[in-house]
Structure 1
Amino acid sequence: MIFFTTGAGVSSADSISEALIRAARSGRSIKTGAGLGNTFNRVDTEGNHMGEPPATTDELLTAVLRTFPDIGFVLDEKGTYVEVLAGPETESLGYEDPEALEGERIPDLLPAETATRFMNVISDAIRTGQFQTIRYPLEVVEGRRWFEARVAPIETSADREHVVWISRDITDLRNELETQARTADAVVQTIDDVFYLVDPDGSLHRWNDRLTAVTGYTDAEIADMHVASLFAETDADAVETYLETVFQTGAATTEGTIESADGDRIPFSFRTHAFEHPELGEVACGIGRDITDQRAHERTLERRSHQLRLLNRLLRHDVRNDLTTIRGGIEHLRAENDDHDDVLARLERATEHIVELTETAGRLADRIDAEEEPQLAAVDLRPIVEAAIDEAREHYPEATIDCRDLPAVAVRADDLLDAVVSNLLDNAIRHNDCQEPTVTVSVEQQAATVTLGVADDGPGLSDTQKERLFESDATSGQAPETGMGLYLVDLLIDRYDGTITVTDNEPTGAVFRVELPRA
């Protein structure tokens, strides 16, 4: 396949236009085609030159005119038509007799406003020596059509200065773009959010009806306002700063309060993106969403959170006071009569367990309330496990706790990690039906994680119990079947981005495995 090009590579209609402009600028006659064959080079699909064209110059020009989708003119600095180039497909877009234009002047043929625009473009092309572009409508044989023209100065030795003017009919393209714009406008008008198009100076170029409904201003009033004027006075500076950030970074989000013409204040969240508009230049479009209900919900949550914090503190205070009373009663009974030391010891362990649970739950609740994200750090696991084992042995002297060699390894956690280990040990012993329970503790290292294992020889758990072990109904407030201890373990492990699994031990019992990220 052979293509006409203005250099290396395959050309299109634009390349033909370029070639015609080059021919005109070099002083060749476009109408007769003199020397035009030298303007085009023959290349194959791989860009290799193939020698002289097989057609004569006149044949080449005829072929070009058949495929040329544009209308071409050579004009002098006074707007006089010197030459006209139009193919069979484009003649009807100009005048009935295009050659009759030769010798005529633009100011004499076109409306004054259009003629002035054309003459300014010709003047700019000659003055700067650079290509100029212009889009314009014209009433032609086929009716009103839109054109886009490229205008270039011609370098000749003649007394007069000339330009070559190549116009392309863009009516269909413009109509398609207008259809797309109407479709986009329909979409914008149907959304419940505020839509806006704003430039770096804060001028609004487009908005939907939602903005006028929210602000109470008319379209004419909004067109004359700086975008910051739509906001409460206290937010005006922040709006301007936000706009600067959008154009500096390309996109940003914020919240602000719109103040309507009637003085109503409405909180909104905004998401805005900057881009290059083909006509407006640098602009930003965005969406604003009314967050009145969201703010009310946040206030409700904060009020409830405050109430729960207060309830937590009161509960911890009252539980501690009552447990102190129980402890005093146990000590009194032990001093009066030592016949029931075993019973008193179990009561004492139960009260201590309740104290530990309430303290751990309180610490965790305070931590969650104060933090947006958990503040985790490297925590050495071995001393925590050793301390928990010592405490369990003291509380449960009848139990045997086997501790294999513990490696020195750190995990990502915080100062609540001790509650995980102690509650796992407590669960393994307290729910054991053996007179002398045996518990085995292990720590295994992997490349990215550490696994803490706690195995017991108790009755074990059914498959159904394993599945529901850590379930809780947050809506009804129903606690998990295993009680608060393992529930706290599950909460803390989730806080540390870890996992916990339960499997059967051999020959009886259960094995709890906690996997935590290594620090």
Structure 2
Amino acid sequence: MTGGGFGDGVLHPRNEGRIRVLHVDDDVQFRDLTKTFLEQLRDEFEVTSFADPTIAIEHVDEFDCVVSDYQMPDVDGLDFLSLVREHDDSIPFVLFTGQGSEEIASEAISAGVTDYIQKEGSRDQYEVLANRIENVVARHRSEQRLRDSERRYRELADASPVPMGIHVPDDGIIYVNDAAVEFFGADSAEAVLGRSPISLMHPDDRSTVAERIGSLFEDGEALPGEPERFVGLDGEVRTGIVSAVPTTVEGRTAAHVVVNDISSYLDAKARISAQQSLVQTIIDTLDDMVYVFEDDRLIRWNERVAEVTGYDDAALASMSPLDFVAAADIEDAAAYVERISEDGRATGTFELETADGDRRPFEFEGFCVEADGTEFRVGIAREPRSEDRRLEEYRKLVEAVGDPMYLLDDEGTIETANEAMADILGISKQAVIGEHASSFMTDGDFVCGTALVSEVLSDPDRTSGTYEFTVARPDGGRIAVEDNVTPLLDERGNYVGSVGVIRDISERKRRENELERQNERLDEFASVLSHDLRNPLNVAQATVENMASDSEDRGGQLDVLRESHQRMADIVEDALTLAREGASVTEPTETRLDEVAGAAVSGVDTAGHAVEVRADATIVADEPRLQRLLENLVRNAVEHGGATVRIDASTDPETGMVTVSVADDGPGIPESEESSVFDSGYTNSETGTGFGLAIVRQLAEAHGWSVTVEESELGGARIEIAGVTPA
């Protein structure tokens, strides 16, 4: 026996295509012979040999299989096996020894060798060894893949929000994820493991579930999802859609179970059903006929409808509300239904004709409601009744509808309002009731509302009226609304209050204001074309006439003519800019102010002037419009100021809003003219168009900014843009 170290093989990382064999034998000749035969018999084998087990153990992690002699100095084959198992408890280990005996074989198997082969001198023996190596490596790799697959499954299952588990027939539940622990009402997974799934089922469902589980293991086919009830360890009953597929775990038949918890869904469904039943019960107890119709067909009604009309539910399902009305009132009733669709609400009194031909007057009231994007019309029909009853029903109606609605007494005090109305006013419903209507509007709007009620009361052909006002909320907010007001009268015709339905018209008002601003800009544009162009046009006309009579100074006269034409072109261009740039900014973006200011300076002839940009801020703006605004300010400062122009930006520490300014060291603007410098046509230059600062104002207002002029610290004028939103 000879000692040694590394063999002459080259180490490579493991891969599925190659089989790396670590061979340990202190006999150099036998070591070389084994390496030669194995690599000749199998192209995929790469054998690395070592003489010393203590050196070989340092490289065991780099191999797929270990082949070791038994009798070696210092460390024998079984001792080496112990060292290997400390590094890797699953790598295949083949004991290949010439010291064969039943005792050694028994000891080796007890120690955990993967295989045991006695050395012989024949080539066939090495074929056997090669086969054994192939088999144990293939089995080890298969087991490793299975372990990896199970590990990945557990990682995915652990992270899943869906309850999952694994059930083995003889061992019960062997795995549950966190979602399953919560579903079963347990404190930990240990409280569930080992239990039979049947023990967690509702007693009434156990036999059915036992049959399903039995069929899964007998037939080996997946179980489709079925709703089952469970009783958790906390005593709570939960319902889940249970599906399962057969699988194997560590060689054992098992079932992978998934439970889709539908307890919350069923609870919500039960609540909705109970609420619907309650609503229907409440509606059925009303003395009024209440019905819902869509496309002129009844889709829901209370019991009172059948009682009054004499039609059963089957007949009502195919009827229209107009089928209740006597022939003489059909035309008026059809107009009433049309008003419901057009105005959102309508009232009318018509004769109702029952199934047996009886006729009697009924008061009808209808309004529109929207649910899930579909508009429905709700109708209420009642026989004429006392005023107290009428007011009480109005209160119920106010509470029931989804649109903002209120009820006032004859002095303007709010008797009731629904939640939607409270949301518009900006306070709780409890705080609304008892307040005077004037608390939420200006004095002028309240006078208009009072006048409208008087107009309706004085006109026998009117039952309601509409006016607009602005809600003044306690938080300082303002909301433009439209109020459809219906005065209420008692049996003697006395005014006892009013009911109103509110509609938010803020967006409509915004569009109207924008249209008004556009019209103002068009008027201004027309004024410019008709007035401001007249002077240069007159100059040009006079120059042409002079040229016709004086031929000696035509060169100078042509210069005057060119200047007049250029001035007219400048006026037209600036007027068009003024008209186009006034629209509101709809898609502002994050903008670097210093970069836009630099681009603006580059677009202006600043020869002979020092322009300093100190505007290090990022704001929200329409970048092209912002650049035009700054170009006009820089051009104005260069043309009318001194030698120095400065662009600054500052941030208000309290509001965070940014202020942008352009200052110069010129003569400044007289205090008496500061209020008119932003007007169209204002200029103190014979060549200016007077639109530069007017365009600045339009561009600023389009962003929602304010613009002012004041004396600068440089001694000239300082134009300030305030209210700029930071990015």
Identify the TM-score tier after normalising by the shorter chain: 0.3 to 0.5
Say which structure, 1 or 2, has more relative contact order (CA 8 Å, 6+ apart). 1
* TM-score (normalizing by structure 2): 0.28
Larger Rg: 2
